[in-house]
Structure 1
């Protein structure tokens, strides 16, 4: 996927492959969405996206984790096994 993220994406929910909201886009920095994870899902999200070593309020969402972007949401891929690592973040 080759997504172009813009300020129009700020405020969109970020959902997993099942459609469950895991966070919200809080900002776009240099074309990369910054995600504020939902408190109830933060541990799972951090583990799936390789953010365990990061302790931030928002996390960078890397393009390779995104399945699609619609007018209403950003949906993540079902298989995130090749996305994790501290350089990819959520």
Structure 2
């Protein structure tokens, strides 16, 4: 079942965690419904590649809605990573 994900300004500052609960970054900004993440410096190439961040230059990376399982009051939880 698909989850309807809508990012808003209220998501800025939330931790982004993988399916195991490990922090992969933090939402630093939401623009036009897209959350941009400052990744944890310890992320490996495999995870950044799965998130579509491997070929992106810069300090912030767009979070693909398809990778998000749910958004809670405190965090954005990813699925399948």
Q: TM-score, normalized by length of structure 1?
A: 0.81
- Are residues 1:59 and 2:52 paired? no
Is there any run of 5+ residues in structure 1 with no aligned partner, and where?
A: 80-90
**Which residue does the alignment assign to 1:48?**
50
Structure 2 unaligned blocks of 5 or more:
none
CA separation in 1, counterparts of 2:39 and 2:22?
12
Q: Which runs of 4+ in 1 moved over 6 A?
A: none
Per the TM alignment, residue 42 of structure 1 is displaced from its structure 2 partner at its CA by 5.2
Of Structure 1 and Structure 2, the greater strand share is in 2
Q: What's the secondary structure of 1:39's corresponding residue?
A: coil
Cα distance change on mapping 1:9 and 1:42 into 2, 3 Å: farther
Compare 4-13 and 47-56 and name the one that shifted more: 47-56
Match of 1:27 in 2: 29
Pairing of 1:59-78 with structure 2 (within 5 A): 59-78=61-80
Q: For this pair of structures, how many residues does the alignment match? A: 79
